[in-house]
Amino acid sequence: MNVFIKNPVLSLLFCIPSVAVAQSENIDTVPSRGLQEVVVSAPTVLRKSDMDLYIPSSSAKALSKNGMQLLQNLKIPSLTVNEVLGSVSSLGNAVQIRINGRVASVDQMKALSPDDIKRVEWIENPGLRYKDASAVINIVVRNPDLGGSFMVQAMPALTTAWGKGNTSVRLNDGRSQWGLDITGQLTDIDIHRDYFETFTYPDGSRLTRDERPRGGKMKHNNAAATFSYSYIKPDTTVIFASISGLRNFSQVEEYTGLLSLSNGSPNVNVRDKDARNGLTPTVSLYVEHHLAKNRILAIDAGTSYYRGLTTHDHLENLDGTGALITDVNTRIRDHNTSYAISADYTEQWRSSRLTAGLSYNGSSNRSTYLNLGGEKYHQTQNQVYFYGEYMKIIGKVTLTAGLGAQYSAFRLRESGLGNNSWNLRPRFSFAYRPGNVSRWSLSFYSWQVSPSLFETNSVAQQIDAFQWQIGNPDLKTCNNYRIDAKYSYTGKRISGDIGVNYQFAPRSIAPFYSWHDDGRLVTSFENSRGRRWFSVYIAPTVTVLPGWLNVTGYLRYGLTNTRGTDYDITRYNWSGSVTAMAAHWGFNLMVQYNHNPTTLTGEKEIWGEKVSLLLLAYNWKKWQFGAGFLCPFNKYDTGSRLLNRYNNNEKHTRLDMSAMPILQISYNLQWGHQKRGVSKRVNADTSVEQSRAGSR
């Protein structure tokens, strides 16, 4: 398991959020309350047909030092913003971030000055032009023609080698803006793993292996730089170009332990290590032209290249004698390229809108297996997507309907194997607003998930003494269908959402396991018999003391059923988040507890992270100082459980520390005014895949 991706606490625990207080949303008024040196006002909220517009109050801006902190202070129901984890989510699902319509990262959002943010667009039911996004936050910033900014942040831990920093520079000249962003991350922490597994052989006999931890290490060191240029001639032409590079110096997850076996064999020393490093440059070009009043054509193109090394090492030897049992050394050198182009046409009328678009994504992947004498594996992937969508407002009712179609194909050069398919993507949404405080909505939409390079790779990869992994080149693209129903309420003291979700993937991609005649337990992948997911939730925001203390959060019940080769599993779980925020005398205090959802894919259950935070921040002129603790109320623990009839295992990954003290220092210097940046209406997806070596 790639912990750096699935466990953001372990890779992005380097920043302290500045916490502030804003009242519950109010449509017609902007109430304020003076508390000695602090005046806290609620944002103005405008309910549109397809989004909610949040206009930040001056006090919320004053208590924030970057765009992410301001987003947290808006207190949008069901939205969880956590600067420590570097995440923005809605009910446990990732939210797509955009700046003036252009897809952006958390670091880019942090580089925004709160004073330059005009409004925040919250889109809970994105249309077809957003493709697979479950929800979208679009931050709109101003567009003056003079000025500049310099922002820098440093976020170190006090008791271990953790740290993250970023610097952002903007220079405006007439209709042009030049920008440079640099980020860096350092992680070198001690972790350990508890691992328990039982193998059941075809004849019914069993072998249990219980791994007791002896040590472990996690490293994640990288740096990235982006140079950008934009040109804006309002209501006529927009041009945006950028070149960036990400250097992953080391990404390591290593464990050592002692295995005891149920068959009475001597204890076994085990060392398990997964590592990756590489370089990813990316180039992007965006052009937008207004053909006539309310008619806009936008084109985005880009390409990415990845060159890197992925390794997996697994060593087992007898405790005491050191006699070698298993020695696995997998080395995969990647040379992968991704290229994409997207076009979008929008025509807007007073009470309706038409949107249509076309996109192409392609990739060429070459993986060289150094441990197999340089054996090469080539794969090409192509995807074409086009859609049309129409929105109409009829009194208090908003209707949206659209249809997309996606063609997906991939081919393996060495074997000639591969697959292709056409998939439809229908969408319909209905919204009814009887007044300013209530809104009812119902939506149905679908999307596709194509098999990854990792899942189709047919090269046999050894994992440990028993397990191997072989991808399935016959996998097909999977359709996902979802229905959302929600009621939203906006009051002076209480706001929030109540909703129900249902999702169905009839041929979802999932692992399956089988014993081979040579005694290997092989993991492969299949289009399973389906995955169903149901949830119900409530997400309130409560102003406890107007202008001083707010409490927000959500509580969710989820039920998941998966079916595949020889299994039919149903699991349910509770998840939720609660955040209490107070401000007084220039200090901001936040207490937060997050229990993320547990996911079930095939026969594997992955537990959601449980994280608590206690943070105190103080703003002084252009500076911000913060201090706090990670996990002061609980010990960090995440893991997974496999419920397969041949391999039943359970894994826990834990930090070798209790409450961790962390600091944050930031400086924000501005002169003149800040350029708005590009309102990018369409985005070409140039994400490039990376090989994964099989691991436990």
Break the chain into its structural domains and give their ranges.
3-672
Alpha-carbon gap, residue 123 to 136, rounded angstroms = 5
CA atoms lying within 13 Å on the CB side of residue 572: 7
Q: Which helix (H) or strand (E) holds 84?
A: none
Matching residue, tokens 């944050």: 664
Alpha-carbon gap, residue 378 to 364, rounded angstroms = 8
Alpha-carbon gap, residue 181 to 183, rounded angstroms = 7
* E-only strand ranges, 509-622: 509-515, 521-527, 530-545, 549-564, 567-584, 587-595, 599-601, 604-606, 610-620
Which range of 20-29, 152-161, 312-321 scores highest in mean pLDDT? It is: 312-321
Tokens at residue 503, please? 């999702």
pLDDT confidence of 322, banded at 50, 70, 90?
confident
Using an 8 Å Cβ cutoff, are 584 and 617 in contact? Answer: no
The larger pLDDT score, comparing residue 326 to residue 53, is at 326
Task: Characterize the bridge pairing of strands 418-432 and 397-412.
Answer: antiparallel
Residue 218, C-beta contacts closer than 8 angstroms, at least 6 positions apart = 3, 10, 187, 188, 189, 190, 191, 252, 253, 254
The larger pLDDT score, comparing residue 79 to residue 304, is at 304
Tokens at residue 274, please? 């997964």
Alpha-carbon gap, residue 633 to 81, rounded angstroms = 19
Average pLDDT over residues 172-176: 85
> What pTM does this model have?
0.79
Average pLDDT over residues 498-506: 95
Matching residue, tokens 């193998």: 199
- Fold of the domain spanning 3-672: Maltoporin; Chain A (2.40.170)
Mean of all residue pLDDT scores within the chain: 84
Q: For 409-456, what is each residue's pLDDT tens digit? A: 988 888 888 888 899 999 999 999 888 788 899 999 998 888 888 888
The reported pLDDT for the residue numbered 283 is 96
Length of the chain: 696
Tokens at residue 453, please? 């390079």
Q: For 556-567, what is each residue's pLDDT tens digit? A: 999 999 999 999
Tokens at residue 628, please? 């706090």
pLDDT confidence of 22, banded at 50, 70, 90?
very low
The larger pLDDT score, comparing residue 33 to residue 209, is at 209
